[in-house]
Amino acid sequence: MKMIKTTAELAAFCDICSGYDYVTIDTEFLRERTYYSKLCLIQMAHPGEDDSSAVLIDVLADTLNLDPLYELFQNESVVKVFHAARQDLEIFYVDRQILPKPFFDTQVAAMVCGYGEQVGYETLVRKIAKQGLDKSSRFTDWSARPLSAKQMTYAIGDVTHLREIYETLAAELKKSKRQSWVEEELAVLLDPQTYISDPKLAYMRVKTRTNSWKILAAVRELAEFREGFAQRRNIPRNRVMKDDAIMELAATRPQNIGELNKSRLLLRDARKGDIADGILAAIKRAGGYQASDIPKPVDDRIKPQGAEGLAELLRVMLKAKAEGYGVAQKLIANAAELDAIAAGERDGKMFKGWRAEVFGNDALRLCEGKVALASNGKSVKIVNI
């Protein structure tokens, strides 16, 4: 298999790819020791069976830059095909603020076509390409050079089988006239905001079980400091401090290094230097909050009368609808969204686009008492009232 190591070689391959309707792309990266993914390898293939139709691109080579690939990303006559593309697209957006258009994600398409929930690439290879994959190289060190023959064989398989998977799913979507469904889902992946992590919103990632506004204020400031620090230093956020340490510090709110060092959960490196200073500054800022600065948490235990039973009926309807349309349930709605509908939510994504047609409109009618659910012995059906 060909390993591309120069910009000229990449430009030549991308020029060939520009003559096809689509190309398949995948990446190998590391993220265990950094905030942002470290790109180590790119795999690409265009239609064809010859050995030159698929290549590996050594992005760590000093003689290569990705300008030709980014030019191909902006070529709207060529569909760029990925599987479970979110992390891949994040890498490219962070690197150059460029996203591939047009774009196709086979995982999303497979869910629309009824292959299951968050269906994996290996499953699609087995079901569609009728092949097996050796996944033993998946978690190897992709930054080490030279790559082993086993690593390269594994990597190239992520784009060669993807060609048949794409062609099969594209044909199924055309037959079922569901291309627009997939396009709605892909719009989220093509939105730059998907890949921008705002430190001010980092507190939403921290699970809390308190109604104390003072603790919640400290959580906000500590989470914002951690996110910003991790981004600037390009280190994992848990290397700064873990969530349980944030909750401990938000509760104790130390005022100086001596009190900070009494923490049971704070990492050693966080007890001194820039991290310690940042923690104390965050807690000081939180001390300036007022109760009105923190929205009163909604008690999930308090629900409108009948909402719990209605949510269960919505779950039954969702399962029946998903089976009837051959679409993954989680792609339509999750449990939290069903609870929100039962509690009175009417502005969610359930009532827009293809979801409204498949589920949302009937879910609303169920909530309004206009339809009921009945069983014919083998399946659930909707009955007008």
**CB-CB neighbours of 255 under 10 Å:** 12
Name the DSSP class of 202: G
Quickly list DSSP for 91-158. HHHHHHS---SSEEEHHHHHHHTTS-TT--HHHHIIIII------TTTTS-TTSSSPPHHHHHHHHHH
- Find the domain containing 80 and state its range: 2-195
- Sign for the pseudo-dihedral over CA of 354, 357, 362, 367: positive
Pair (114, 32) in one structural domain: yes
Q: Considering the domain boundaries, does residue 295 fall inside one?
A: no
Pair (189, 215) in one structural domain: no
Reported as a single tens digit per residue, the pLDDT across 233-249 is 999 999 999 999 999 99
Pair (229, 264) in one structural domain: yes
Pair (151, 16) in one structural domain: yes
Q: Considering the domain boundaries, does residue 45 fall inside one?
A: yes
Pair (369, 274) in one structural domain: no
Pair (176, 49) in one structural domain: yes
The pTM for the full model equals: 0.90
Q: Higher pLDDT residue, 375 or 252? A: 252
Pair (54, 168) in one structural domain: yes
The one-letter amino acid at 264: R
Using the 3D structure, point to which of 287, 322, 355 is the last residue of a domain: 287
- Is omega for the bond preceding 304 within 30 degrees of 0, making it cis? no
Pairing of strands 103-105, 79-82: parallel
Q: Considering the domain boundaries, does residue 135 fall inside one?
A: yes
- H or E stretch including 364? helix 361-367
Pair (136, 232) in one structural domain: no
Q: Which two tokens stand for residue 284?
A: 């000081």
Domain count, the chain: 3
Q: Considering the domain boundaries, does residue 101 fall inside one?
A: yes
Q: Considering the domain boundaries, does residue 296 fall inside one?
A: no
Reported as a single tens digit per residue, the pLDDT across 133-147 is 888 888 899 999 999
Pair (130, 229) in one structural domain: no
Reported as a single tens digit per residue, the pLDDT across 51-104 is 899 999 999 999 999 999 999 999 999 999 999 999 999 999 999 999 999 999
> What mean pLDDT value characterizes the chain?
94
Q: Considering the domain boundaries, does residue 31 fall inside one?
A: yes
Reported as a single tens digit per residue, the pLDDT across 26-43 is 999 999 999 999 999 999
Using the 3D structure, point to which of 173, 195, 217 is the last residue of a domain: 195
We report the CATH number of the domain holding residue 209 as 1.10.150.80
Residue 300 has pLDDT above 60, yes or no: no
Q: Considering the domain boundaries, does residue 327 fall inside one?
A: yes
Pair (189, 203) in one structural domain: no
Rounded to whole angstroms, the Cα distance separating 115 from 160 reads: 20
Pair (158, 45) in one structural domain: yes
